[in-house]
């Protein structure tokens, strides 16, 4: 085993992913808890490089609304990433616990503003997240939003951004990706539209009994209406984020500063 690994006491398993586990750990002689994400490294050199990408990109991201990176290391065919523990859990859990009780609009706008600030920073670093969804957005014990899971992220206009057409989670994947066009910053905006819709309804905007019907609904941009008590600005924003043509969608920086919703979210900036 690795020497670095011996610096941490494992407290429990908090997440199970496709590549390995997320563990709650505590460095010996420290009281703060961290998350240690264990990723099985693939056999191929290119596979190993793309796994390392997650640690490299997360380490670069320094923003109040992005999970704080502590260190990463490799041992016995695994990559380990140690990061800030978000004790509030992920937004998906939060939505489930509501048991149908809708969030007030000011809470939604507060969270959404923080999500946008984190995403704006990512985009300014010329990075695309490519897997924005409620399960990859975390809350700290103080209720601060933190974007996490950079496992699908890539640098804008890098060969990888073009290489794999399908990334992400089906519910959140934008029409252009189903149309085999390259992933761009507006594809992240689409996914955040899905997250914002979920915050308002506790449901996915696009749902169907089959893959084919799901893709059809996404590519037509047809989703059930929002509850009417939310503001016109919020309704309008969601409509814009779900424009089929990525060029018609607002950028994150546009949402924060020049969109009709900006006057409602100013107080959270
Ligand atoms: P995967 O690539 O497998 O989706 P994630 O980084 O999303 O890996 O982690 C999997 C799960 O572990 C998350 O959905 C969440 O429930 C939990 N988790 C991951 N990182 C953290 C963190 N920093 N704080 C709290 N929970 C986390
Ligand atoms: Mg994840």
Q: Is 131 tagged catalytic?
A: yes
The CA-based angle 246-250-252, given to 5 degrees, is: 115
Ligand 1 within 6 A of 135 CB? yes
- CA nearest ligand 1 atom 16, residue: 15
Does the pLDDT at position 248 exceed 90? yes
Of the pLDDT bands very low, low, confident and very high (cuts 50, 70, 90), residue 234 is very high
Q: What is the ipTM of this complex?
A: 0.97
Ligand 1 within 6 A of 39 CB? no
The per-residue pLDDT for range 100-156, each reduced to its tens digit, is 999 999 999 999 999 999 999 999 999 999 999 999 999 999 999 999 999 999 998
Does the pLDDT at position 211 exceed 80? yes
Select from 240, 252, 245, 50 the least CA-distant residue to 147.
252
* Helix pair 105-124, 232-241: axis angle to 10 deg: 40
Select from 220, 73, 56 the least CA-distant residue to 127.
56
The per-residue pLDDT for range 29-44, each reduced to its tens digit, is 899 999 999 999 999 9
């Amino acid at each position: 085993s690795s020497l670095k690994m011996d610096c941490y006491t494992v407290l429990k398993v908090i997440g199970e992913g496709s590549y390995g586990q997320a563990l709650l750990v505590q460095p010996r002689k420290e009281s703060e808890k961290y998350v240690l994400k264990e990723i099985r490294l693939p056999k191929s050199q290119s596979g190993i490089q793309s796994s390392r990408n997650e640690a490299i990109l997360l380490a670069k991201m320094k923003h109040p609304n992005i999970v704080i990176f502590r260190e990463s290391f490799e041992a016995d065919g695994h990559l380990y990433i140690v990061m800030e523990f978000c004790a509030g859990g992920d937004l998906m859990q939060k939505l489930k616990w509501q048991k149908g009780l809708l969030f007030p609009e000011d809470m939604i706008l507060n969270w959404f503003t923080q999500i946008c600030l984190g995403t704006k920073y990512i985009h300014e670093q010329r990075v695309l997240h490519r897997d924005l969804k409620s399960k990859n957005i975390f809350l700290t014990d103080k209720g601060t939003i933190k974007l996490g899971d950079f496992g699908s992220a890539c640098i804008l206009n890098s060969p990888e951004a073009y290489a794999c057409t399908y990334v992400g989670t089906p519910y959140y994947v934008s029409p252009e990706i189903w149309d085999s066009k390259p992933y761009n910053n507006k594809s992240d905006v689409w996914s955040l539209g899905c997250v914002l819709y979920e915050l308002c309804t506790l449901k996915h905007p696009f749902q169907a009994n089959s893959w084919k019907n799901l893709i059809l609904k996404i590519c037509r941009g047809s989703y059930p209406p929002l509850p009417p008590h939310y503001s016109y600005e919020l309704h309008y924003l969601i409509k814009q984020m779900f424009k089929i043509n990525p060029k018609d969608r607002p950028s994150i920086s546009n949402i924060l500063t020049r969109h009709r919703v900006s006057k409602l979210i100013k107080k959270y900036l």
